[in-house]
Amino acid sequence: MSYVLKRIGQSILTVFVVVSASFGLVRLLPGGPLDYLRAQAIQQGGSDMTMAEINQRIAAQTNIAVDEPIYVQYVEYMAAIVQGDFGQSIWYEQPVTSVIGPAIPWTVFLTASALFLAFTVGVSLGAIMAYKEGSRFDVTSTGIGLVLNSTPGYVVGLLLVAFLGYRYELFPTGGRYASELSPGFNVPFLASVLQHGAMPIASMAVVGFGGWALSMRGNSIRVLGEDYLRVARLRGLSTRRIALRYVARNAILPMYTGLMIAIGTVFGGAVIIENIFAYPGVGFYLIQAINARDYPLMMGGFILITVAMVIGITIADLTYGILDPRAKGGASRESY
Amino acid sequence: MMQLLGATGAAAGLAGCGGQSAVETDTPADDGDGGDGDGDGGGADDETPTPTATPVQVDSESLATIQELAYVTNQTLPVLPLQEKLAQSFQTTDDWSVPSKDSDAVQTYWPTEWLPRSGEWTAKDGSDDDRLTFAQWAVPQDSQYNPWNGKNFGEARRMLFDRFMQYNLATQEYSGYVVSDHSLDGTTLTLNVREGQTWHNGDAVTATDVANQIKLDIYNGGSLGEFVAPEDDGMISERVTAVDETTVEMELVEEVNGDILLAYLQPKYLVAHEGSYGEFVTALDEAESEDERSQALADLTEDTTPEPVGCGPFQFEDADTRRTLLTKYDDHPDADNINYPEVEYLYKPENQGRWNSLINEETDGSATLFMPSNKLNQLPDSVQVSLIPRHWGLGLVFNFDEEPVDDPRVRKAIAHVVNREAVAKNSGAGTNSKIAVSYPSGLTGEFNGQIEGAWLEGVVDEFETYGRGEAQTDEAAALLEDAGYEKSGGTWQKDGEPLTIPIAGPSGFSDWVAGAETVVSQLKEFGIEAQAEMKDTSTYWGQDYSNGDFVVGLQGWASYDQSHPFFHFQWLFDSWDAQNAWNLPSEFESSVLHDQVRDGETVVPSDLVAALSTASE
């Protein structure tokens, strides 16, 4: 029990340190929201104001927002987030939770679907590769897995959006669902959601499954060489029983921590992908906040990503002992 | 001459497009005359031979002042204008009837908002496209329509609201719109509101709405404030008044050039519906102290209006993550010109997406968009591309607090070395959308010969070109030697230190970066140690540029979307940027072009700019 408390305490400390460091670091970013406004006006045009007027407005609005010293801001901010108040987005003029909140389910939809696909496909493929170790299938799959595992998701994303999106017009290039549909549990809406999510999910899944397949392959080959497997075979157990009960379970076990960490990246894993596909999720607003120097919104995004990651790792630590009794007791004995 | 000036005056931009335009022209120039030896800059007095400018008598006080300011700019180079931009504008023709790309009609800024209103962008008979589709920058459901907030100001504003007036860049004429007529009598400007127009909730569009719009703009730092209540915001409510249902009167503190007033008024959208913004106007009008006014202004600028009450030909329907949908407002006076029921704005936050959407005809047009030649080649034949002047472009701005560019001879040497045609070519990426500046003088209109043919008619020979399409290395070398530099080992040096010119700019502006890299390579070839130091866009604008932490920086050299020189000279000599970022001195030394405008070589350009705003034609 004391291990659990200690581990949770460590997690809270981690979050505290990361939030504090982020708070300081984002303030070091040069420029402010109004400079972004100016850059945007020049870049996009259509501001309907002369250059002089844009600058006058920036000067007028800067005078309105008189900043407090940074340590005062820090104390006030930390006190507020403990109470669940993440502040007001400067760019969107509404509470940070109102900006990020509605985006969370969409990001989770993308990342969780991609992770599920990558994990199931990867593990299945890895197992088959292990059984066919040394075959042409194994060699080819290992090569493909290595290449895909080394490819950044955004490269796949850019290719997909260029070809399947714009050239062949098979999938929509932005948004969460078709504008004509109203959200609800009906087939056209759900189909549209899947259609809009297909390319972002594919971008992440395609580069993700290779890593899982290679891990699974390695673990399975190691397990296949264990003595207890030879015993199992000698006992005359069915191949299916050996594959699922003996090999698969023991090969997946070391991947549990990796899986929990991957689950921890649900919010932070799609930042670039969401921007490529103009898919307004958490990562999309995080980039927007960084560009616009929207400090409260940036912090909201960072905290969400940090907390998810810390929770994922903490759960992995705390539950590993349940899955693998050898690791029970945490640091009190040699861990697996 | 006066007629010409009147006609060319005050080309108010109907709105911007992204990008820069550049016009460059050059004529052989005499060597620089007096520099801008001034206290601030610590600029060395220029001892190079001074050209003998022949005073030219001109009839118009206004034109003489313009020429004098252009001459001072040309001879002292507070900035180096490199190029003028022509914006590319796109219209699809398979389902839509639109004017040809060379017609005057598409020369109206934002053709996508004016052509539908005038019945010149209509659905073809038999077309199955009943929705005009454009692109927008912000997430549609996050867009809002309070212009004084400024953030996420949705593109759909162009159809939701009507502008005060129309301005045609080809004919350079104003015509009434929601402000149907106007008259200027001494210091009283009278505006008449178009009759019979209603807001989308049925309220009549009245003089109160128009007065609200003008007042809120002035409270927010709008330039008309300089003419209405330069010292005291408390006077605004007394000087801008609705005298009856359809008449607004503005009392000016002094007589003002009518073209300049119109240039400020024309592009305004009428947004300030009394029912939506009346409370903010009242709070600002009745504020009794600066603090109260600041608070009221903060309330206004923090307000968001996601579902606006508009007065344009289309009304707000809905917005999600993908698009904003507008439906036709049948009670608009120009509704009969429009034969399609809907307009939509698709969310396209990147240029790449906008290019592809035009290529596969997902969108039906784009008012202005920079598209490089490799993408232009992929456009179907049914998409036409027209070029629209922006009266703006990339220039080099100099920080007068920094050596060596505080010395006018160094600035002029840079100008001589830089081949502006090459800069414009590289910056334009094969699109002909950038024109090199012929006479670095602060005047725009390179695309139609406006500078030589109108603004500088009769005096153009007095102006230095610094070599439009060539590197004038001999002239540059003479200037640098005069400034105490010598070339050693292929590098210009002074006291053993190489002549170093770092050029800072925003990395996100790709056409600017291409232009800057061209300048750098030209300077290096001449023996100046130049470097391009591009930074993240927000870092550059928010820190380096704003704090004056640069030696040479990239910036637009003119006030975009305006053709009247007043706006460009105000930007060059009397803007926040000139004073705070470029640290421009208030006084310059320059020989005299028109002795009826000034008599000594010391000149305070901002005084001439002020005089220009009130000068008669």
pLDDT in tens, A61-103: 555 445 677 888 888 889 998 898 898 888 888 899 999 999 9
CATH topology of domain B86-137+313-389: D-Maltodextrin-Binding Protein; domain 2 (3.40.190)
Residue A315 lies in a domain: no
Residues B217 and B224: beta-carbon distance below 8 Å:
yes
Residue A123 lies in a domain: yes
Ordered per-residue pLDDT tens for chain A, 336 residues:
688 899 999 999 999 999 999 988 887 777 777 777 777 666 555 445 566 666 666 665 555 445 677 888 888 889 998 898 898 888 888 899 999 999 999 999 999 999 999 999 999 999 999 989 899 999 999 999 999 999 999 999 999 998 998 888 899 888 888 887 888 888 999 999 999 999 999 999 999 999 999 999 999 999 888 888 888 888 888 888 888 888 888 888 889 888 988 988 888 888 999 999 989 999 999 998 988 888 889 999 999 999 999 999 999 888 887 887 776 655 555 444
Residue A88 lies in a domain: no
Residue A3 lies in a domain: no
Task: Answer yes or no: is the ipTM higher than 0.90.
Answer: no
Per-residue pLDDT at A59: 62
Query: Which one is predicted more confidently, B7 or A121?
Result: A121
Query: Which one is predicted more confidently, B191 or A327?
Result: B191
The CATH superfamily assigned to B2-7+30-82+393-614 is: Dipeptide-binding Protein; Domain 3 (3.10.105.10)
Residue A29 lies in a domain: no
Residue B391 touches chain A, beta carbons under 8 Å: no
Per-residue pLDDT at A73: 83
The pair of three-digit structure tokens given for residue A105, joined into one six-digit string: 């389910």
The boundaries of the domain holding residue A239 are: 107-293
Condensed to tens digits (0 to 9), the pLDDT of residues A208-226 reads 999 999 999 999 999 888 8
The pair of three-digit structure tokens given for residue B583, joined into one six-digit string: 């640290």
Across chain B, mean pLDDT equals: 86
Residue A312 lies in a domain: no
Confidence band, pLDDT 50/70/90 cuts, at residue B232: confident
Q: Which of residues 52-111 of A touch B (CB under 8 A)?
A: 52-53, 55-57, 59-61, 63-64, 91-94
Can you say whether the dihedral through the CA atoms of B22, B27, B28, B31 is positive or negative?
negative
CB contact under 8 A, A179 and B325: yes
Can you say whether the dihedral through the CA atoms of B503, B506, B508, B511 is positive or negative?
negative
* Interface size between A and B, measured as CB pairs under 8 A: 174
What's the total number of domains in chain A?
A: 1
Residue type (1 letter), B182: H
Q: Identify the residue among B538, B567, B570 best suited for mutation to test binding to A, counting A beta carbons within 10 A and taking the highest.
A: B538
Nearest CA to CA, how far is A264 from chain B (Å)?
26
Residue B55 above 60 pLDDT?
no
The DSSP line for A151-176 is: S-HHHHHHHHIIIIIIIS--S-SSSS
Tell me the C-alpha distance between A84 and A79, whole Å. Answer: 9
CATH topology of domain B165-302: Dipeptide-binding Protein; domain 1 (3.90.76)
Condensed to tens digits (0 to 9), the pLDDT of residues B503-514 reads 999 887 888 999
Per-residue pLDDT at A47: 47
CB contact under 8 A, A176 and B142: no
Do B2-7+30-82+393-614 and B165-302 fold alike per CATH?
A: no
Give the start-to-end residue ranges of the domains of chain B.
Answer: 2-7+30-82+393-614, 86-137+313-389, 165-302
Query: Which one is predicted more confidently, B422 or A320?
Result: B422
Residue A91 lies in a domain: no
Report whether the peptide linkage leading into residue B99 is cis, meaning its omega lies within 30 degrees of zero. no
Strand locations in B432-544, DSSP E? 434-436, 486-488, 491-494, 497-498, 500-506, 529-535
Average pLDDT (B32-40) is 30
Q: Which of residues 239-278 of B touch A (CB under 8 A)?
A: 267-269
**CATH number, domain containing residue A198:** 1.10.3720.10
Q: Using only C-alpha atoms, what is the Rg of chain B?
A: 25
CA distances from B67 to A50, A133, B61, B613 (A): 22, 84, 10, 14
CB contact under 8 A, A46 and B150: no
Helices (H) and strands (E) in chain B, counts: 21, 26
Residue B42 above 70 pLDDT?
no
Residue B87 touches chain A, beta carbons under 8 Å: yes
